[in-house]
């Protein structure tokens, strides 16, 4: 049987239009009751990477989260919360700045506590057998993953599978980057995390996506789409088609399929629209953006990666554009490497030690000035 992805057209952030489209999309999967019982604890997990305006394409748009919350509430769910383990800063402040807090407050939906950590064992894990989860995730019965379509420096794109990394509690996210320090091992850990936390439904906000220097320093681009699926790999694969990026180049797709999380191959996926079923090829042709700014370069082969000299010279590296840097030091704070792979150098910009750098790009993700690029 093929994995199904629902594709919803929505050209702008119009609250009622988003609500109506998502309602139709969820109903086409059998409705909320097919995923959640009314007495279960529901946790909505958007992407709240860092402080950002709702239209910056850095965070899941609050109107999408609001619509999902409203649909679940109207279906009788009584215990709904929302939250994310943010990169740097405070979830409360981030939710207030992007407008999510007000939207949820109007619905009477509280924020979950993502500060407390629960160490959990996962003996079935193929890559990761232990996770430091946010307590809110462990305490919930039904997780609803609400991701944002963006580019990503390590995995090329971030969507349904990667959004689950925000279920890992605070500081442990940084540690995970040192433990799973290349795109493949990180992708395998993410596949295990998805298999462990088992979201009931994956929804993607791609009304405005991010291209270029994502996931926080790129450029917003209008795609006019939302996607829904129970298969996160299939959803991300369709997202790749929108980007005109070969889904085989995305480690979370390839590793996700190998590990039984879902399927990425086009002929294993069918896409349902309001006008009926279409193929992934038709999605690419009708809704895709040929010149979407995303890394389509070939990966350095594993054998070469093992040769350290070659690795050091050909590995993609972050660098700082001096004129854009305000010397805030957030990038240094974000670096997960012991002893730090970049150091403060005030009054000049921070300086990298590329011998220590594991190319996780946390510094690039967290820079509030879009001053860090990757070459
Ligand atoms: S986070 Fe960005 S702006 Fe702040 S010091 Fe680092 S490079 Fe400069
Ligand atoms: S310098 Fe940046 S890319 Fe390198 S390890 Fe530190 S955070 Fe990761």
User: Torsion-angle region of residue 146: left (phi > 0), alpha (psi -120 to 50) or beta?
Assistant: beta
Q: What is the pLDDT of residue 301?
A: 58
Q: Are residues 226 and 356 in the same domain?
A: no
Q: Are residues 334 and 185 in the same domain?
A: no
Q: Is the pLDDT of residue 16 over 70?
A: yes
CA of 17 to the centre of ligand 2 (A): 41
Q: Are residues 279 and 321 in the same domain?
A: no
Point out the domain boundary residue: 287, 315, 331.
Answer: 287
Q: Are residues 49 and 149 in the same domain?
A: yes
- pLDDT tens-digit profile of 315-330? 789 999 999 999 999 9
Q: Is the pLDDT of residue 352 over 70?
A: yes
- The values of phi and psi at residue 243, to 5°, are -85, -5
Nearest residue (CA) to ligand 1, atom 6: 331
- pLDDT tens-digit profile of 227-266? 999 999 999 999 999 999 999 999 999 999 999 999 999 9
Arithmetic mean of pLDDT, 270-279? 98
Q: What is the pLDDT of residue 88?
A: 78
Arithmetic mean of pLDDT, 202-214? 98
Q: Are residues 175 and 53 in the same domain?
A: yes
- The answer as to whether 271 is a domain residue is yes
310 or 39, higher pLDDT: 39
Closest ligand 2 atom, residue 334 Cα? 7
Share of the chain above pLDDT 70, in %: 96
Range of the structural domain that residue 357 is part of? 307-374
Q: What is the pLDDT of residue 89?
A: 82
Question: What does the alpha-carbon distance between residue 66 and residue 2 come to, in Å, rounded to a whole number?
Answer: 30
- The answer as to whether 298 is a domain residue is no
Query: For the chain, what is the mean pLDDT?
Result: 95
Q: What is the pLDDT of residue 86?
A: 87
Q: In this structure, what CATH number is given to the domain that contains residue 57? A: 3.40.50.11440
Nearest residue (CA) to ligand 1, atom 3: 325
Task: Give the containing element (helix H, strand E) for 158.
Answer: strand 156-158
Point out the domain boundary residue: 287, 316, 334.
Answer: 287
Q: What is the pLDDT of residue 316?
A: 86
For ligand 2, whether the C-beta of 374 sits within 6 Å is: no
Neighbouring residues of 105: CB distance < 8 A, sequence distance ≥ 6: none
CA of 58 to the centre of ligand 1 (A): 17
Q: What is the pLDDT of residue 219?
A: 98
Point out the domain boundary residue: 287, 317, 334.
Answer: 287
Q: Is the pLDDT of residue 91 over 90?
A: yes
Q: Are residues 73 and 133 in the same domain?
A: yes
Q: Is the pLDDT of residue 308 over 70?
A: no
Question: What does the alpha-carbon distance between residue 214 and residue 135 come to, in Å, rounded to a whole number?
Answer: 28
- The answer as to whether 77 is a domain residue is yes
The closest of 149, 247, 156, 164 to 206, measured between CA atoms, is: 149
Nearest residue (CA) to ligand 2, atom 1: 341
**178 alpha carbon, closest ligand:** 2
Question: What does the alpha-carbon distance between residue 15 and residue 31 come to, in Å, rounded to a whole number?
Answer: 20
Tokens, residue 149: 């379509």
Question: What does the alpha-carbon distance between residue 96 and residue 78 come to, in Å, rounded to a whole number?
Answer: 23
Q: What is the pLDDT of residue 312?
A: 56
- The answer as to whether 121 is a domain residue is yes
Arithmetic mean of pLDDT, 177-200? 96
Strand-pair partners of 352 = 342
Q: Return the beta strands (E) in 216-275 as ranges.
A: 219-229, 269-273
Q: Are residues 140 and 255 in the same domain?
A: yes
Q: What is the pLDDT of residue 101?
A: 98
Q: Is the pLDDT of residue 309 over 80?
A: no
Q: What is the pLDDT of residue 171?
A: 82
Question: What does the alpha-carbon distance between residue 28 and residue 24 come to, in Å, rounded to a whole number?
Answer: 6
Ligand 1 binding site (Cβ under 6 Å of any ligand atom): 320, 325-331, 349-350, 367, 369, 371-372
Q: What is the pLDDT of residue 304?
A: 58
Neighbouring residues of 267: CB distance < 8 A, sequence distance ≥ 6: none
- pLDDT tens-digit profile of 294-306? 999 887 655 555 6
Structural contact between residues 111 and 81, judged by C-beta atoms closer than 8 angstroms: yes
Q: What is the pLDDT of residue 174?
A: 87
Q: What is the pLDDT of residue 310?
A: 55
Share of the chain above pLDDT 90, in %: 92
Closest ligand 2 atom, residue 335 Cα? 7
CA of 137 to the centre of ligand 2 (A): 28
Indicate the number of domains in the chain. Answer: 2
Q: In this structure, what CATH number is given to the domain that contains residue 327? A: 3.30.70.20
By residue count, the chain amounts to: 375
Task: Give the containing element (helix H, strand E) for 264.
Answer: none
Q: Is the pLDDT of residue 135 over 70?
A: yes
């Amino acid at each position: 049987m093929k994995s199904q992805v629902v594709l919803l057209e929505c050209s702008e952030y119009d609250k009622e239009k988003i609500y109506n489209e998502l309602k139709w999309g969820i109903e086409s999967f059998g409705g909320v009751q097919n995923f959640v019982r009314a007495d279960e604890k529901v946790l909505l997990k958007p992407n709240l990477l860092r402080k950002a305006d709702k239209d910056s394409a850095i965070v899941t748009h609050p109107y999408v989260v609001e619509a999902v919350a409203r649909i679940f509430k109207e279906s009788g769910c009584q215990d709904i919360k929302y939250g994310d383990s943010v990169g740097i800063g405070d979830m409360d402040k981030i939710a207030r700045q992007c407008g999510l807090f007000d939207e949820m407050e109007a619905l009477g939906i509280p924020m979950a506590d993502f500060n407390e950590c629960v160490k959990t064992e996962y003996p079935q894990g193929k890559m990761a057998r232990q996770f430091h989860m946010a307590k809110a995730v462990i305490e919930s019965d039904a997780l609803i993953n609400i991701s944002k379509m963006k580019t990503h420096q390590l995995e090329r794109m971030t969507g349904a599978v990667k959004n689950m990394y925000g279920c890992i509690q605070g500081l442990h996210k940084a540690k995970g980057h040192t433990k799973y320090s290349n795109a493949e091992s990180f992708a395998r850990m993410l596949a295990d995390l998805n298999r462990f936390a088992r979201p009931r439904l994956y929804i993607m906000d791609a009304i405005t996506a991010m291209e270029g220097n994502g996931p926080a320093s790129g450029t917003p681009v209008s795609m006019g789409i939302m996607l829904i699926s129970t298969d996160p790999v299939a959803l991300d694969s369709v997202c790749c088609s929108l980007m005109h990026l070969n889904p085989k180049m995305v480690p979370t797709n390839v590793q996700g399929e190998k590990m039984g999380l879902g399927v990425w191959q086009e002929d294993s996926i069918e896409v349902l629209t309001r006008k009926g079923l279409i193929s992934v090829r038709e999605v690419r042709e009708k809704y895709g953006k040929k010149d979407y700014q995303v890394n389509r370069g070939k990966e350095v082969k594993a054998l070469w990666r093992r040769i350290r000299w070659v690795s050091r010279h050909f590995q993609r590296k972050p660098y700082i554009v001096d004129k854009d840097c305000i010397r805030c030091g957030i990038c240094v704070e974000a670096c997960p490497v012991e002893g730090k792979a970049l150091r403060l150098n005030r009054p000049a910009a921070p300086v990298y030690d590329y011998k220590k750098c594991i190319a996780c790009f946390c510094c690039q993700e967290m820079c509030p000035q879009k001053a860090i690029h990757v070459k």
